[in-house]
Structure 1
Amino acid sequence: MPEPEPGSAEAAGAALPDARAIALFLDFLAAEKGAAANTRLAYGRDLALASAAVGGRLLAAGEAEMARLFEGFAGLSAATVARRRSALRRFFGFLLKEGIRRDDPMARLDPVKAGRSLPRTLARHEVEAMLAEAGRRARDEPGPRADRLVALLELLYGSGLRASELVGLPRNAIRPGEPVAIVRGKGGRERMIPISRPALAAVARWLAHVPKESPYLFPSGRGHLSRAQLFNLVRELAAAAGVPPERVSPHVLRHAFATHMLESGADLRTLQTLLGHADISTTERYTHVATKHLVETVAARHPLARR
């Protein structure tokens, strides 16, 4: 039996196991592309699933195997399929760049165009109901749990933070009297965020309960509050405030921040900076959510509307 040709798919599959190649690719994403940890985790899961689906021979897979792999994704959402395709395209691109393969089995496969769903959001009165419920608890049931809840909610909705950014805030990230703070977002990128007066006051109250030696603003156990804990706190508060909890999450509150900012006249470039979006097309999704409000504004204020 002839030896595999150097650089061929067969040689790649024989020389390097899938798991090792995937690990090298994820290291490349972190070191050279600055990919966020969550992105690397998602890509790692997608590539491991793809490897298992082709019998642990992803490095040696050909175009026909890739086509059959995507046929097996029938029933998944378009967004999930698009993410898996992106992971595989970048993976095989890495293999080409490193000389591990000389061909790309994804090159001629038809692209999947995933429609980007509109962000789920909340009406202003729903957010106000949650803020009122958190405030009521702080008055009627004073203590660290109530103070922490108010601080979390004020920062989520008032600053548009991602859940991971919020729970990982350093203890000294927000300073008394300073209406801005620096956060580290996706890909390690830093940005400046606004801190409202209610949020400053809420954080000041909460800090009285945080040990001075804590590295985190929201400590929990040996680390910081987890995203799952934050998710549960927000949903429980929504239910108590009369807002359907299945419609609420920390990310939905971030969407509400963005949507309500647009409705109040913020421009897209400012909003892009506040949200930490690398691509303004991500920010532009909120223009569709705010369309109804904009139409009503024009109808009420445009001179021709009075005729």
Structure 2
Amino acid sequence: MIRKLPDGRYELDFYPFGSSGPRIKRIRKTRKECKEIETEFLSKKRQLSTPADNMRLSEFVQLWYNVHGCTLKDHKYRLTRTIRIVERLGDPRAIDFTAAEFAHYREQRLKEVSINTINHETRYLRAVYAELIRLDLFTGDNPMSKIRTFKVDERELSYLTKVQIARLLEECDISRNNHTGAVARLCLATGARWNEANRLMSSQLLEDRVVYAGTKNGRVRVIPIRPKLSAYLRGLAFPQGRLFDDCYAAFRQAVQRSEIILPDGQMSHVLRHTFASHFMMNGGDILVLQRLLGHTDLKVTMRYAHLSPRYMDTVPDFSPLNGALI
């Protein structure tokens, strides 16, 4: 369906592969542009009428991308990563590929990459088969359904002390990019991911709250902040559009100058972990924290529960030995 919007532009909204397939929404200046996009997707649908049973795995992945993968937030990254997996596997026919072949591939791959990387690759390829089977575009079985991901030990989440926070912000404030300290403070005040804070638009920063949209899981989060912080951020920011310049490189340099040692992979995430950790240590509620961080699964948020001063305090009260000595 193509409809005219109040601002004069046109919106295309339709399901080219049926109600079980991806929903395509695009906004363009003219009806003609929307029509061209619709025609392009319908043309893809006709091309996909050939059964996927005889496709090579690379074609199979491309088919998945056309009917579903292109709608994912990280679609380009996922496609590139999955195609590289297929190349390393030798690009067999999709219907001939077996769990044993992937198990052998995984055994060799473990000599080069981490268990986490292997688990991601397993999920990517499994999802390709599962989606095409769900859409009735493949009649074979999903060989990846027999492959279990490896169990990974939970990583220690590093957080900054108040002394370290002051030291880091001091280094951020003397960076060449004067937005570095602003973005760092926003992450510490709201638990945002670095990119969520760094790419904030002026319309999303209000006097007493921040509205995060376009998040990792697609959900909108509204986080209260103090008006004083909002005024400080606006004093440094651009008046319209994006509030801040890209300043991750400057932040990384500030961390190095501060001589704070962080675990691998927690460079910018340490600010999010610090917010969550101090929130719990100061008596915050774990369910509120789940909503603030945007976690869909409470188990992810529970990593911070042990930091609460009241965590498990009531265990002795509920013991069968309560009030008695044996």
Distance in 2, matches of 1:241 and 1:67, equals 44
Q: In the superposition, relative to structure 1, how do residues 83 and 269 fare at CA in structure 2: closer, same or farther (>3 Å)?
A: same
What is aligned with 1:217? 243
Which one scores higher on RCO, CA 8 angstroms, separation ≥ 6?
Answer: 1
Superposed, which structure 2 residues align to 1:240-255 within 5 Å?
240-244=257-261, 249-255=267-273
Q: Is the 8 A contact 2:183 2:194 kept in 1?
A: no
What is aligned with 1:235? 252
> What RMSD, in angstroms, separates the aligned Cα atoms of the two structures?
2.9
Distance in 1, matches of 2:151 and 2:211, equals 35
Relative to its length, the structure with more helix (as a share) is 1
What is aligned with 1:166? 197
Q: After superposition, what is the alpha-carbon deviation per residue over 1:103-154, rounded to whole angstroms, capped at 9, x for unaligned?
A: 111233344222332323222321122224445x4xxx9xx833x2221111
Aligned match for 2:68, one of 25, 28, 41: 28
Q: After superposition, what is the alpha-carbon deviation per residue over 1:26-66, rounded to whole angstroms, capped at 9, x for unaligned?
A: 451454xxx432xx345334421221122122623123212
Q: Is the 8 A contact 1:82 1:114 kept in 2?
A: no
Q: SS where residue 217 of structure 1 aligns?
A: coil
Q: Which amino acid aligns with 2:219?
A: R
Query: Cα distance, 1:20 vs. partner?
Result: 4.1
- Does residue 1:186 correspond to 2:216, yes or no? yes
Query: Cα distance, 1:182 vs. partner?
Result: 1.2
Distance in 2, matches of 1:271 and 1:152, equals 20
Q: In the superposition, relative to structure 1, how do residues 46 and 149 fare at CA in structure 2: closer, same or farther (>3 Å)?
A: closer
What is aligned with 1:8? none
Q: After superposition, what is the alpha-carbon deviation per residue over 1:143-191, rounded to whole angstroms, capped at 9, x for unaligned?
A: x833x2221111111111112212221122213xx21121111232111
Distance in 2, matches of 1:58 and 1:267, equals 52
Percent of aligned positions with the same letter in both sequences? 23
Q: In the superposition, relative to structure 1, how do residues 25 and 124 fare at CA in structure 2: closer, same or farther (>3 Å)?
A: farther
Superposed, which structure 2 residues align to 1:255-270 within 5 Å?
255-270=273-288
Count matched residues. Answer: 258
Distance in 2, matches of 1:97 and 1:180, equals 41
Distance in 2, matches of 1:202 and 1:58, equals 58
Q: Is the 8 A contact 2:168 2:258 kept in 1?
A: yes
Distance in 1, matches of 2:73 and 2:153, equals 23
- Does residue 1:67 correspond to 2:103, yes or no? yes
Q: After superposition, what is the alpha-carbon deviation per residue over 1:247-266, rounded to whole angstroms, capped at 9, x for unaligned?
A: 76221111111111111111
TM-score (norm 1): 0.73
Distance in 2, matches of 1:246 and 1:269, equals 27
Q: After superposition, what is the alpha-carbon deviation per residue over 1:191-216, rounded to whole angstroms, capped at 9, x for unaligned?
A: 11222345313212113xx2x4x521
Q: Is the 8 A contact 1:79 1:116 kept in 2?
A: no
Distance in 2, matches of 1:130 and 1:246, equals 16
Q: SS where residue 269 of structure 2 aligns?
A: helix
TM-score (norm 2): 0.69
What is aligned with 2:115? 78
Q: Is the 8 A contact 1:158 1:196 kept in 2?
A: no
Q: Which amino acid aligns with 1:183?
A: Y
Consecutive unaligned residues of structure 1, counting only runs of 5 or more, are 1-10, 220-224, 299-307
Query: Cα distance, 1:245 vs. partner?
Result: 6.9
Q: Is the 8 A contact 2:158 2:263 kept in 1?
A: no
What is aligned with 2:144? 106
- Does residue 1:18 correspond to 2:57, yes or no? yes
Q: After superposition, what is the alpha-carbon deviation per residue over 1:251-304, rounded to whole angstroms, capped at 9, x for unaligned?
A: 11111111111111111111111111111111112235x27x668x97xxxxxx
Consecutive unaligned residues of structure 2, counting only runs of 5 or more, are 1-50, 314-326
Distance in 2, matches of 1:286 and 1:246, equals 17
Q: In the superposition, relative to structure 1, how do residues 120 and 245 fare at CA in structure 2: closer, same or farther (>3 Å)?
A: closer
Distance in 1, matches of 2:157 and 2:236, equals 30
